[in-house]
Amino acid sequence: MSTGSRQRFERVQSWFGADTDWERRPSDSARTLRVDLLIAGVLLVSGLLGIEVLRSLDNLGKLPGPVWLPHLAVVVGTVPLVWRRRYPIAVMAGLSLHFLVVGLTLPIVASSFAMQVVYFFAIFTGVAWARNRQAMLLVAGGVVVVMFAWLTWQYAVGSGLESVLSDNGKPLPVQGLFSPLTAYVVYSLIINVFYFGGAVVGGQAAWRAALHRAHLAEQAATIEAQTLDLQRQAVVEERLRIARELHDVVAHHVSVIGIQAAAARRVMGRDVATAEKSLRSIESSSRDAVTQMRGLLGTLRSGDAAEREPRAPEPTLSDVPTLVGETESPGLHAQIRVVEDRPGAVESVPSPIGLSLYRTVQEALANVRRHSTASSATVFVRVDRRGESGFRHGYAEVEVIDTGRPRAGTSGTGLGLLGVRERLATHGGVSEIGPRATGGYRVRVRMPLPEEPS
């Protein structure tokens, strides 16, 4: 085989998918079987009805067998369509053989409309659903060759051409570019080329469309898996960032405990009342430190702590007014309202809780700038030491409200609010995050306060 012929052969193989391992299979086998059963049933009824119509018109002619033979030929030719997508190559080969045999013995049956549809379906399905593409290519090529060889033989030895090409026994005159015989042969060949070629090309187009959909589905699944991996990685990084911040705050608490313990040891021998008060303070501080350390460990549950560079002291709840002032810009007016059950309550909020609430306000205001049409935002800071249900020793709360609408094309990734919820889970608080019934958006986070030192 020459190089050019080999290249053309390889292109044909590639177009028919003979060089791929992908197999087309029904996504729902039960539904596919029901559909094929319905199609076979419709064609069976149509074929049997067509036989009776031909008989009524006296177009069946003299049959070479019993009267029920055409009906049997229709049944044998249509029933295999039930399994056309389960065994596509076998059905294509079997019904092509049926066409050859019935065309030689009962040509009027083979050429009926219903049976022509059956044969077309068989070839189309064989090409569209064959899982072994090389075997399909061989069988489809053999079917086409055999069919056209049969047509050639029919033209060579058939005796019906004289009746077709005559007018009451007189030969038809030559009136066009071709003689009547040549025109009839060319016309028949064109019809069969479109018939068989349409079945093969249409089936291959359906197969390639299914292959394209499968590739798109595979790519979508890969992209979705990569997106989930990136989201998990972002969650881990956010937890690590929160944990690093909490680590610094907890370290500060532990240092304070050490100082308080040293002071208690010095006064232990001189003033029992003062020493007892210092011990109670140490107990409260240690309890708070342990609580924060548990939160730190919980935050680190999906990742390991990374090395840190020295940073400035972490902000607290009392720094929120400064943050709101820095948020002011020509396009956004921000105001703050502080509500305390007693003076100095904001400053007394433990550093870990204050840091988490500060970050919550920071993220909420950033979202207002990025994703909202709001021109103003209000920040509320509330601290209440009076116990209530769910907050035995009181709570610290921040709330950010805006009245704008979501800005088109700026939906964001959701990782910022994910960080807010992670901090909330660390401290065991509650939240209300989402659109307001009256318009705008609300971010409200409340965290429980620890017991105050005696």
Q: What is the pLDDT of residue 306?
A: 46
Q: In the predicted model, is pLDDT for residue 454 greater than 70?
A: no
In a domain, 3, yes or no: no
pLDDT reading at 265 higher than 70: no
Q: Are 201 and 259 found together in one domain? A: no
Shared-domain flag, residues 179 and 241: no
In a domain, 168, yes or no: yes
310 assigned to some structural domain = no
- Tens digit of each residue's pLDDT (9 = 90 or more) over 178-189: 777 777 777 777
The CA-CA-CA angle for residues 297, 302, 304, to 5°, reads 70
Residue 73 shares a structural domain with residue 174: yes
Same domain as 326, residue 247: no
Question: Could you tell me the residue range of the domain that residue 330 belongs to?
Answer: 317-448
The residue among 243, 272, 302 that closes a domain is: 302
Residue type, 278: S
Q: How far apart are CA 253 and CA 403, in angstroms?
A: 39
pLDDT of residue 159: 47
Q: How many residues does the chain have?
A: 454
Please tell me the predicted confidence (pLDDT) of residue 161. 54
Residues 182 and 253 in one domain: no
CATH label of the domain that carries residue 399:
3.30.565.10
How many alpha carbons lie under 13 Å from residue 42 in its C-beta half-sphere?
Answer: 10
DSSP string, 378-432: EEEEEEE-S-BTTBTT-EEEEEEEE---BPTT----SHHHHHHHHHHHHHT-EEE
CB 95 within 8 A of CB 110: no
pTM, full prediction: 0.56
| Domain assignment present for 425 | yes
Of 1 and 178, which is predicted with more confidence? 178
Per-residue pLDDT at 187: 78
State how far the alpha carbon of 280 is from the alpha carbons of 31, 241, 264, 266, in Å.
Answer: 74, 33, 10, 15
Compute the half-sphere exposure of residue 278: CA atoms within 13 Å on the CB side of its CA. Answer: 20
Give the span between the Cα atoms of 309 and 314, in whole angstroms.
13
Q: 322 and 257: one domain?
A: no
Please tell me the total count of domains within the chain: 3
Could you list the beta-strand ranges (E) of 141-181. Answer: 166-167, 170-171
Closest CA to 117 of 17, 21, 175, 195: 195
* pLDDT tens-digit series, residues 308-333: 455 567 888 999 999 999 988 888 89
The answer to whether residues 246 and 275 belong to one domain is yes
For residue 149, being part of any structural domain is answered with: yes
Domain annotation covers residue 312: no
Instruction: Give mean pLDDT, residues 143-149.
Output: 80
> What was the pLDDT predicted at 305?
44
Domain-terminating residue out of 225, 252, 286: 225
Domain end, chosen from 225, 254, 278, is at 225
Please check whether residue 453 lies inside any domain of the structure.
no
Q: Are 398 and 442 in contact (CB under 8 A)?
A: no
